Structure 1
Amino acid sequence: AVVPEPETFLLFFLASAGFRRTAGQKRQELINE
């Protein structure tokens, strides 16, 4: 098994977290309207 580099894992984690945050904000905007 190939172990991903810490930098790659961190970038992936930040990207997924940022995507969830923006998706959550858009969902909140839809609910508020």
Structure 2
Amino acid sequence: MNTVEIIIQLGSLLLIVTAGPIIVFLLFVKQGNL
């Protein structure tokens, strides 16, 4: 596995870790507004 693949995997993992809680938070806000 070369460096580019490692960077891409780390980037996607970081994206999932940061986007996950944000999506959950937005879902809670939407349900709260309804």
Tell me whether the two structures share a fold, i.e. TM-score over 0.5. yes
Q: Greater helix share, 1 or 2?
A: 2
Name the TM-score, length of structure 1 as normaliser: 0.57
Count of residues in correspondence between the two structures: 30
Name the TM-score, length of structure 2 as normaliser: 0.56
Task: Tell me how large the CA RMSD over aligned residues is.
Answer: 1.8
Q: Which runs of 4+ in 1 moved over 3 A?
A: none
Gaps of 5+ in 1: none
